[in-house]
Structure 1
Amino acid sequence: MKGRSATGDGPAPAVVIATAGHVDHGKSTLVRALTGTEPDRWAEERRRGLTIDLGFASTVLDGGVTVAFVDVPGHRRFVANMLAGVGPVPAALFVVAADDGWMPQSQEHLEALAALGVRRGVLVITRCDLMEPDLALAEAREALAGTPLAGIPAVAVSAVTGAGMDALRSALADLAGGLPRPDPGADVRLWVDRSFTIGGAGTVVTGTLGDGTLRVGDALTVGADGRRVTVRGMQSLGREVRSVSGTVRVALNLRGAAVDEVPRGTALLTPGRWWGAEVVDVRLAPGPGAPKPIRLPENMTAHIGSASTPVRVRMLADSPFARLHFGDSLPLRVGDRLILRDPGTHRIPAGAAVLDPSPPALTRRGDARRRAETLAGLPEGPDAGSELRRRGWARINDLRAWGVPVPEGAGRGGWLIDDAVADALAARLVTFVHEEDRRDPLEPGVPAEAARHALALPDAHLLESVLTRPAASALRSAAGRITLAGADGGLPESVRAAADELRGRLHRNPFAAPTARELDELGLGRRELAACARDGLLAEIGSGVWLAPDAVELAATTLRELPAPFSPSEARAHLGTSRRVMMPLLELLARRGLTRRVGDDGHEVV
């Protein structure tokens, strides 16, 4: 990129201010007088004496603070260009000509700034060499009353004679000092307001970086789901730099995208930290003079940053809330401000603050009214507690992509759940396990996956969080199963009686395993035997071979009486059992390390 004057890590501290005001009220002339730079970039602009597209210029104020101006067009035909410049900036230089007073585009620019919630700025009455400023100032004050810009400082100037320019510079310095400090560690979202090519460099884009930090070599995505590009080079305020932090004007030389793939309105984003939104719920902010309660036409144009897209508006009952369906996917977060513009009247009846960039579907009668009631309790700023209370649970990555701060290390497995919701689910889970135990006493507890489905939880890590709540203290989780703490299995009396009878037989003859017919006569099928095993009453030492739980240790002790090595036949005779029992018993003894093989067919107790 040509035109560099210096190289460094980043520009001096700066603020970015957008001009606003009616066409031909002297915005560009004022910027030129402040900066010594011609903001009108195109020959057509200079020939016609009006700003058609965005212009940029900067100056250094007393104290070393740099102010960069985004000079926007005032003509009605170029309002979309004006909105592209105003959208990303935190403050405005509102210009009204003393000899012309408050005019139609003055009002439209005010509507745009009010819709965006811009609260800081300086009111400048220009051309005071042609007429006294009092009348124009009074008109402007009346128009600003009741808007976020009411009460901003006012300065009367003449860019021709220089009168008032020192006072304006002082007011700008005060404005710069009072602006909130951007977060240099925030995720990057740079709205592209110009895109062009430079010979030998390739694709270059410009924009206003509000928060975050950009460095040469950084990877960015073109939109939430677009291709990756790399920052090949960077300029800010005429200097080639290695890094910049918001708020600052910046030009990026990109590798990985042609110029037509990053047009105005594109958002360059930190990879993996933004989701695209096509439907959002918003709180409407009526513009100056708009009727209240506000009712909007169904089809409008939404502006955010430098982007504009058709939007279908659904009012949510008789409330200041609406659901917006965008024509394009936009990377939006809780608290973002939008401009809603009527393409028919060209007026801006309202702004909108995003409350939910991933709202639930409205499918049942009364859903719109209920949704409005929910939204009425939400803050405009992102808040994890509020999001979880409303949603119940959420992925941490989703929360962060919606602009909700989440502490590092919070949650389990990438999920967060609201404490009250987790407590209620824990109580439900205890009841569910009780009911399942009554329904099927042979198999106490429930599989963890069945518990997750019963609670309609989307991930097993959320179940783990539920099990940590005090209300779940009556439960135990082990080996993929959730049981009641201290449960004895709840065996039916008939099953316990049959098991006790079999244990009595085995007490008299420990290795006389019952046959399948004998088990059937006792009423001990596979499920009953499995329940007895879980309850510690019986143990299966081989397929269909059931003995007392201590039979293996007893066999090792008894076989120690034989001279080593002993054969399976000698072991069988000594234990007084059958080959059906002896062979799986010897295998189990060896697996547990209680015996070992000696020679081809011998065994000895370890």
Structure 2
Amino acid sequence: MWVVATAGHVDHGKSTLVRALTGMEPDRWAEERRRGMTIDLGFAWTTLPSGSTVAFVDVPGHERFVPNMLAGVGPVPAAMLVVAADEGWMPQSAEHLAALDALDVRHAVLVVTRSDLADPGPATAQALDRLAKTALGTSVEAVAVSGATGAGLDELRAALDRLGAALPPPDLDAPVRLWVDRSFTIRGSGTVVTGTLGAGRLAADTELELAGSGRTVRVRALQSLGAPVSAVGAVARVAVNLRGLDRDAVGRGDALVTPGRFVVTDLVDVRVHGDPVADLPAEVVLHVGSAAVPARVRPLGTGTARLRLARPVPLHVGDRALLRDPGRHRVPGGVTVLDVAPPELRRRGSAAARAAELSELDGRPDAAGELRRRRLVRAPELVRMGVPADGVTAVAGDWLADPEHWAALRTRLVSEVDRYAAAHPVDPDVPVDAVRQRLGLPDRALVEALVTPPLIVRDGRIGSGRALPERLRKAVDAVHADLRREPFAAPDARRLAELGLGPKEIGAAVKARLLLRIADGVVLLPDVADAAVRTLHALPQPFTLSEARQALRTTRRVAVPLLEFLGRRGATRQLADGRHTTDS
């Protein structure tokens, strides 16, 4: 179990308490020990009476170091809030509690220190009253201790055991998002980063991505609680030795993530918990994980806003973060991420429409809801948003569709095919790409997936399977009558013109497989190739063009392209002397 150890003033005996509990020094810097004040994040751990391990992220209490404090709070599921019996509730206590509330931390133990210097009762009552008005509620256990004398430490250890037992189990199958709070180099090993693994698992040789850079790295080695491990599951404090990443390329606020499992974005729509959205400053700092990112606020509606971040960060729908107003040294509220890939707001009234849409969202990942809003989305994109696509059937490839939208598209497709056929009676089959553009679809595979009988897709076009127009059909029937008498006497240009068969009409008849075009202006019956091969095969092999022309009872105009056509199909072969043969 990892717990944030947070105090409401400079220290309130917090570091002394952590030392007494763990026997470890949480203050890493000599300056911290000299001044008796936590400046940066410290780490310590111990074994509880139950045999489980509790580990502490010791965070600063002074207001000057609140950003450091927030970097340690983000990934940790529980808190040990420390208040001094002789000083009581302090302004920084309120800011730390506001941060915990903004991040929706629901598990904590209250420790009233310096109980050897003053009656802990008033400070305990005051603190519990403040905690009851936050996400922590009224179930927080309080323990009075003295780090100096050791009084109450056994009771605190027992309370920490009960706190650990009450925590929900971490999601070990979740993708990794390790927020980095330290990075350094070890000679002979290379770059090492530390952070709190809030979900998922890490193991040696795990592939990760430095979010926002596109750079892929591998885990060379791992440590947890100061000891080498081959694998570790959440929640855990880890030191990760990385292969393929320079020390200068990574630092506090960066994140190592499972590739392809997060949207790295600088634009999010959020629900704000705390101050009214209209009262938020135009510029705030968004604290998420160990990152502190400046952001511009655009109010959208009651309780919702759009944040434009100074740099992209890896986020999921449902993530909790907090807003800090650095100018006034306060936390105006927390946020729940509603959309990590929001639409642009360009048209007049689009912000109000967006606010109405967001008003129905609560930040819980919902595949059906996302499909209703997005209409079409690829499954990997939904997964990157943190929205499981389980149970949703793809309509084409990895494309997912809202059922109502998909049905409407199918209706529109039929209308588009009918409209095109009415405008192009000779060539009524509409190109797939033309339909794609008319329906506003991003992929032609979606168009083809929409086609159902009696519509068919053939040669990149969609047709209804209807017969040719009556005038064209009569003209084709006349050609058939001519060719049945002389199968290789293709009608000449005058005959085609007399029948009204221009290039478009011939193209339509060819597409309907009623004619075979072997060259421009040269058409025969569709099954003529087999008859031609039989006739030519009966000739002495090899044979000349003239001999073929006479056997087929046709002209050179037809014989030349017909032999070329048969040659392309492999039915005949032209020899070096110009003669032909049907022998393979």
Closer, same or farther in 2 for the Cα pair 1:104/1:437, shift >3 Å?
Answer: same
| Equivalences for residues 424-443 of structure 1 within 5 A | 424-443=408-427
Report the counterpart of residue 206 of structure 1 in structure 2.
Answer: 194
1:236 aligned onto 2:216: no
Residues 197 and 235, structure 2, Cα contact 8 Å, conserved in 1: yes
Write the distance in 2 (CA, Å) between the matches of 1:163 and 1:483.
Answer: 86
| Equivalences for residues 519-534 of structure 1 within 5 A | 519-534=496-511
SS at match of 2:331: coil
Aligned letter for 1:446? V
Write the distance in 2 (CA, Å) between the matches of 1:297 and 1:509.
Answer: 88
Greater alpha carbon shift after TM alignment, 354-363 vs 504-513? 504-513
Greater alpha carbon shift after TM alignment, 141-150 vs 213-222? 213-222
Closer, same or farther in 2 for the Cα pair 1:43/1:576, shift >3 Å?
Answer: closer
Report the counterpart of residue 478 of structure 1 in structure 2.
Answer: 458
Q: 1:182 aligns with which of 170, 173, 187?
A: 170
1:140 aligned onto 2:117: no
1:16 aligned onto 2:6: no
Aligned-pair CA distance for 1:284: 0.7
Aligned-pair CA distance for 1:298: 0.4
Residues 286 and 323, structure 2, Cα contact 8 Å, conserved in 1: yes
Greater alpha carbon shift after TM alignment, 396-405 vs 384-393? 396-405
Closer, same or farther in 2 for the Cα pair 1:281/1:505, shift >3 Å?
Answer: same
| Equivalences for residues 339-354 of structure 1 within 5 A | 339-354=322-337
Aligned residues: 580
Residues 304 and 358, structure 2, Cα contact 8 Å, conserved in 1: yes
Report the counterpart of residue 259 of structure 2 in structure 1.
Answer: 271
- Over residues 438-478 of structure 1, what are the superposed CA-to-partner deviations in whole Å (9 max), with x where a residue is unaligned? 111222322222222222122233334434xxxx4442123
SS at match of 1:431: helix
Aligned-pair CA distance for 1:78: 1.1
Closer, same or farther in 2 for the Cα pair 1:74/1:592, shift >3 Å?
Answer: closer
Aligned letter for 1:355? L
Q: 2:180 aligns with which of 180, 185, 192?
A: 192
Residues 190 and 242, structure 2, Cα contact 8 Å, conserved in 1: yes
Greater alpha carbon shift after TM alignment, 387-396 vs 338-347? 387-396
Q: 2:53 aligns with which of 66, 90, 106?
A: 66
- Over residues 514-535 of structure 1, what are the superposed CA-to-partner deviations in whole Å (9 max), with x where a residue is unaligned? 1112212322111111112223
- Over residues 478-523 of structure 1, what are the superposed CA-to-partner deviations in whole Å (9 max), with x where a residue is unaligned? 3322222x3224x2x3323322333333334433321112212322
Report the counterpart of residue 223 of structure 1 in structure 2.
Answer: 211
Aligned letter for 2:435? A
Closer, same or farther in 2 for the Cα pair 1:95/1:605, shift >3 Å?
Answer: closer
Report the counterpart of residue 117 of structure 2 in structure 1.
Answer: 130
Write the distance in 1 (CA, Å) between the matches of 2:77 and 2:63.
Answer: 23
Report the counterpart of residue 285 of structure 2 in structure 1.
Answer: 301
Greater alpha carbon shift after TM alignment, 441-450 vs 331-340? 441-450
Q: 1:514 aligns with which of 476, 488, 491?
A: 491
Closer, same or farther in 2 for the Cα pair 1:260/1:504, shift >3 Å?
Answer: closer
| Equivalences for residues 244-255 of structure 1 within 5 A | 244-255=232-243
Report the counterpart of residue 388 of structure 1 in structure 2.
Answer: 371
Q: TM-score, normalised by structure 2?
A: 0.91
Write the distance in 2 (CA, Å) between the matches of 1:591 and 1:219.
Answer: 51
Write the distance in 2 (CA, Å) between the matches of 1:513 and 1:226.
Answer: 63
Aligned letter for 1:26? G
1:422 aligned onto 2:403: no
Residues 556 and 605, structure 1, Cα contact 8 Å, conserved in 2: no
Aligned-pair CA distance for 1:138: 1.9
Write the distance in 2 (CA, Å) between the matches of 1:596 and 1:303.
Answer: 76
Write the distance in 2 (CA, Å) between the matches of 1:439 and 1:533.
Answer: 19
| Equivalences for residues 66-105 of structure 1 within 5 A | 66-105=53-92
Q: 1:151 aligns with which of 130, 138, 159?
A: 138
Write the distance in 1 (CA, Å) between the matches of 2:158 and 2:261.
Answer: 39
Aligned letter for 2:478? E
Aligned letter for 1:251? A
| Equivalences for residues 22-61 of structure 1 within 5 A | 22-23=8-9, 24-61=11-48
Closer, same or farther in 2 for the Cα pair 1:315/1:500, shift >3 Å?
Answer: same
Write the distance in 2 (CA, Å) between the matches of 1:568 and 1:209.
Answer: 80
Aligned letter for 2:342? P
SS at match of 1:316: strand
1:355 aligned onto 2:322: no
Aligned letter for 1:482? I
Closer, same or farther in 2 for the Cα pair 1:600/1:281, shift >3 Å?
Answer: closer
Residues 206 and 251, structure 1, Cα contact 8 Å, conserved in 2: yes
Gaps of 5+ in 1: 1-14
Write the distance in 1 (CA, Å) between the matches of 2:558 and 2:107.
Answer: 89
Write the distance in 1 (CA, Å) between the matches of 2:66 and 2:390.
Answer: 41
Aligned letter for 2:290? S
Greater alpha carbon shift after TM alignment, 104-113 vs 292-301? 292-301
Aligned letter for 1:495? L
Closer, same or farther in 2 for the Cα pair 1:501/1:460, shift >3 Å?
Answer: closer
Greater alpha carbon shift after TM alignment, 256-265 vs 518-527? 256-265
Greater alpha carbon shift after TM alignment, 520-529 vs 456-465? 456-465
Write the distance in 2 (CA, Å) between the matches of 1:597 and 1:45.
Answer: 93
Closer, same or farther in 2 for the Cα pair 1:115/1:581, shift >3 Å?
Answer: same
| Equivalences for residues 360-509 of structure 1 within 5 A | 360-407=343-390, 411=394, 412-467=396-451, 472-484=452-464, 486-489=465-468, 491=469, 493-509=470-486
Write the distance in 2 (CA, Å) between the matches of 1:602 and 1:589.
Answer: 11
Aligned-pair CA distance for 1:602: 7.0
Residues 597 and 604, structure 1, Cα contact 8 Å, conserved in 2: no
SS at match of 1:92: strand
RMSD (Å), alpha carbons: 2.8
Report the counterpart of residue 311 of structure 2 in structure 1.
Answer: 328
Q: 2:151 aligns with which of 157, 160, 163?
A: 163
